[in-house]
Amino acid sequence: MKKSFICLFIALIALSSCAQKQIKNMDQFEKISWKELDKSSIAMIHDWMLVGAGTTKDYNMMTASWGNMGWLWEKPISTIYVRPQRHTHNYTEKNDYYTLCFFDKKDKDILLKMGTVSGSNFDKMNYDKLTAIETDNGSIAFEEANLIIECKKIYKSLLKEDEFIDQSIPSKIYPTKDYHTVYIGEIINVWKKK
């Protein structure tokens, strides 16, 4: 009786540790300056990135190919555009940081998957091709990335139909009026795979 109770206890512990994938540290990455980015940010974003936000216990990520990087308010910044219906939007709203992860060409399938399924009905935290890692600020990034950019939100706004100077854009891009939320984040850390 006592033996079977112990076995059940061990099995329960094993089960609970399987339920969520282990969060790793950033050992495989080295910190670099944003000045050392060797590829145009337009090309980097055009080739798709993963926007992630949340905590180790509760996070979500999605593929994005609209965004910018530049210099604003005397800071290096990124700008991302997240439609309100994205599950990721809940996370970019309630967290102070977001990360941008960039991948090798061979990992395009990961980005395609994360850009075509939603965390609202797919368990992205247990997606087997991505391993979550945690930054010192508690942001979520992914071990499979070759470059990680961590940003601290400093501004947010909603695109507005009547502010478009080129009025062909809202009718073409936003037929259902789901205008993007725009987040500007100060780039506070950049890590490159060692």
Q: 116, 111, 122: which is closest to 146 by C-alpha?
A: 111
In three-state secondary structure terms, 110 is: helix
| Contact residue for ligand FMN among 37, 44, 53, 64 (CB under 6 A) | 64
* CA gap 50, 31 in Å, rounded: 19
> Of 155-184, which residues contact ligand FMN (CB under 6 A)?
none
Q: Which is nearer to ligand FMN, 36 or 128 (CB)?
A: 128
Residue nearest ligand FMN, Cβ-based: 115
* CA gap 110, 144 in Å, rounded: 10
> Of 31-50, which residues contact ligand FMN (CB under 6 A)?
48
* CA gap 70, 45 in Å, rounded: 12
* Residue 119 sits in the site that holds ligand FMN (CB under 6 A): yes
* Residue 185 sits in the site that holds ligand FMN (CB under 6 A): no
* CA gap 181, 130 in Å, rounded: 26
- Nearest distance, CB of residue 28 and ligand FMN, angstroms: 25
* CA gap 51, 81 in Å, rounded: 10
> Of 133-152, which residues contact ligand FMN (CB under 6 A)?
none
Binding site for ligand FMN (CB under 6 A): 48, 60, 62-66, 81-83, 86-88, 115-120
